[in-house]
Every structure is written in C-alpha cells, then in structure tokens.
Amino acid sequence: MRILIAQSGGPTPVVNASLVGAIKRARELGHEILGGIYGIEGILEDKIIPLTQSDVELEKISHTPGAFLGSCRYVLPEPGDEEYDVLFDIFKSRKIKAFLYIGGNDSMDSVAKICSEAERRHFPISVIGIPKTIDNDLVESDHCPGFASAARFLNIVASEFVVDSISYSKPSISVIETMGRDTGWLAASLKLSERLVRGLKVLIYLPEEPTSDEEILYDVQRLKDGPLLVSVSEGVMDKEGNYLKSAPVLDSFGHPKLGGVGEHVASLLKKVKKVKFVNPGFTQRAASHAVSSVDFQEAQMVASVAVDVVNEGKSGFFVGINREKMNYHSSAKLVPIDKVANKVRKVPKKLLENDMNGFMEYLEPLVGQMPEFIIR
C-alpha cells in the first residue's frame, strides 16, 4: 500500500517524532510511504516526495524542530468544490491508498472534509488525523503531542528569567506572554514555576477567564512585595469578549492576529513596580533541547497507531491519547474525526480550582523531572 503523510499548522518540538514514527511503522508493515511538501497546499501542487531516509537520518529528523516536510495554513473549501478534482486526481495518479495528516484544529477540519469528499466520490482511500498542537486544544484527547514539551520549555525559561530579574537591589515583576489564541493551557502551565522557584507566586490570565486592566492591577498589588511572575496568554479577553490586545488585521483563517498583550500588561504594571517582560514567541514551539521524553514517545505512538489503522483499511478517525492515572501510562484511542473537527477544548474549571492543584497533577507527569532553583 502507498501511504501519503503531511504536516500542517504551527510546528511543535515533537512533530517530526510523529513523522518518523509513521515512517518506521509503515516500513515494518511493508508499505511505501511518501511525503507531502508544505501540507495540503503543496499536495494540491503535486509536491510529493518518497521518504527513503536511512535509520540514522530518521533518528536525527525525529529530534529536529520545525516541520521536516514543510507546513501550511490552508483552508480547504467545502466538499464538492472543484478543488477536490485536483486533489483526488493526484491521489489516483500517485496510487495513494491512505493519507495521514499531522496537525491541529484546522488540520482536523481538512481531514474531515477529505473523508467526506472521499465518501461522496466512493473513492477508496483511508484518511486519518494525527494530533499536533502546543495549544493542547484538540478534543477527545487527554493531551496533545507538543504541549508537554512547550510547557516544559516555558517553565524552565520563565523560572530562569524570574531568578535573573530579582538579582538586583530593586527587584522587579516578571511578565511572560505565551501562545494560546482560544485556550490557556500553556499560560496555565506556568503555575508549575512556583514549584521550581521557592517563594515564587504566579498569576495566570487565560482566554477562559475574562479579565480587565483593573483586575490585573488589583491582583498584582496584593503580591507585589514578593517574587512574582505574571503569565498572560495571547488570547486573553476582557469582560465584553474583546481581546485585551490584537492587531486590526486577520490571518488566513479569518482570526485576528494576536500578540502584544504581554507588553500591554507589562506597561500597565509599571504603575506598581519595575517590570521585566519576555515573549518567547516561536521559540516555545521549536525548543528541541527541552523536549519531554513522554511527549516524544507519545508523538511517535499516535503516528504509529495511525499507520496500523490504515493497514486495517479504516478511515475517518483521529488518534487521541488516553491517560491511565495510576503510575502514569498512556495509550492511543480512535475517535471519529467528526467528533474532533472544528471543536476547541478549553481548560476545565476544575483544573483551575484549589490553587490549580488539579492542573499540576495533570501536568507534572507529562513534563518530566524539572530543575529547581533557590533564591535568597
């Protein structure tokens, strides 16, 4: 069987681990596997290459950041559009019998549309979605490959940043902005920094919990005398449902372009105390040096299982992650793609209660052993 695999959306520290996991499993089962360059956008231009790398090369690729095959942010039209004539002609001419798409929310929308069109055309192809997003916002999965490594990196960076910022006789408040348009999983993960830096307090602001400049100032005033980190998700909103900060332009998916909320909060807090601000930006999705071992293994697992699924002739599924709570263990689970596409998993309120103890129980097994710092 000839399998086509591609990557889409923003890369993660382990997205290439998934790619390699699929390649290795396909070879074990005797299948030929091809790579789509620049996601579905490149596939529509017939940019497809054989994946014949050696085991040594694959090992290096699995630890390389960025999308090895290249990525895209491309919105497929609704099923029935003439663009699918191009896509399915390529599937037919290339003798593609299975298509695996590694991606996040918008990529799962593409998987659902291709599945629907294949069914409409009675075209024999298996289509499977493989999760990937540092935002951790895909439904039907306990967590998503990429999130744990990004959270691990952010906590290390934030903790080191805090320790550095309080080295002077006039200590400052530390402010960090994280990715997360619709959800605050990454911003919330920085609560873990309280366990990395003794005496540190962390304030969290998420899209799930609207706030205001006045509330932020009030919260900071109460904690300004000790070491303090303010973690702000890029998608934080006010009580009216407006972003605290966004550019007056839209991206290719029609989303407002975000960025700047961290600087906004940092400027606001200068009324209280000296402030130091950091925005890790794209580094949080490319930090291969801080990859979580659990994240790496699970990224390979979901992709390997995806190959097993198409080997069985199944189609229209998403490969999620199940968590066994006792002595952390995970396994893959199959979910119909229609239950995943165009849905967003918010941070549950129960994980944010009781000083976020539930969130820490959720997060700590994923990120692995972390450094701990002592400040005077």
pLDDT in 10s for each residue of the chain, 376 residues: 999 999 999 999 999 999 999 999 999 999 999 999 999 999 999 999 999 999 999 999 999 999 999 999 999 999 999 999 999 999 999 999 999 999 999 999 999 999 999 999 999 999 999 999 999 999 999 999 999 999 999 999 999 999 999 888 888 999 999 999 899 999 999 999 999 999 999 999 999 999 999 999 999 999 999 999 999 999 999 999 988 875 444 555 555 656 689 999 999 999 999 999 999 999 999 999 999 999 999 999 999 999 999 999 999 999 999 998 778 999 999 999 999 999 999 999 999 999 999 999 999 999 999 999 988 7
Residues 247 and 312 in one domain: no
- CATH code (residue 127): 3.40.50.450
Q: What is the DSSP letter of 290?
A: G
Q: Would you state the torsion angle of the CA atoms of residues 76, 80, 83, 86, taken in this order, to the nearest 10 degrees?
A: 120
Q: Quick check: is 307 in a domain? A: yes
Per this entry, what is the length of the chain?
376
Count other Cβ atoms within 10 Å, centred on residue 251.
12
Q: What is the Cα–Cα distance from 8 to 97, expressed in whole angstroms?
A: 20
Supply the residues annotated as catalytic.
135
The position carrying tokens 């192809």 is 125
306 and 159 together in one domain: no
**182 shares a domain with 171:** yes
The DSSP-derived string for 108-149 is HHHHHHHHHHHHHHT---EEEEEE--TT---SSSSS-TTHHH
**Residue 124 is which amino acid?**
P
Specify the number of domains making up the chain: 2
Domain of residue 253: give its range: 150-286+348-367
Q: Give CA–CA dist 355/115, Å, rounded.
A: 43
Amino acid 250: pLDDT? 52
Task: Please report whether residue 372 resides in a domain.
Answer: no
| DSSP for residue 192 | G
Residues 182 and 229 in one domain: yes
For residue 111, is it within any domain?
yes
Same domain, 124 and 78: yes
Quote the pTM value.
0.95
Q: What is the structure's pLDDT at 244?
A: 85
Residue 303 counted as domain residue: yes
Type and span of the H or E element at 48? strand 48-50
Q: Please indicate, yes or no, whether residues 217 and 353 belong to a single structural domain of this protein.
A: yes
Tokens of 144: 């998503």
Phi-psi region of 252 (alpha: psi -120 to 50; beta: other; left: phi over 0): alpha
CB 145 within 8 A of CB 325: no
Closest alpha carbon to 371 in 63, 157, 145: 157
State residue 248's pLDDT score. 46
Residue 322 lies in a domain: yes
CATH number of the domain bearing residue 260: 3.40.50.460
For residue 140, give the nearest of 176, 101, 108 by alpha carbon. 108
Measure the CA–CA gap between 289 and 138, rounded to whole angstroms. 25
Counting Cβ atoms within 10 Å, is residue 30 exposed (0-12), middle (13-18) or buried (19+)? exposed
Query: Using CA atoms, how far apart are residues 68 and 16, in angstroms rounded to an integer?
Result: 6
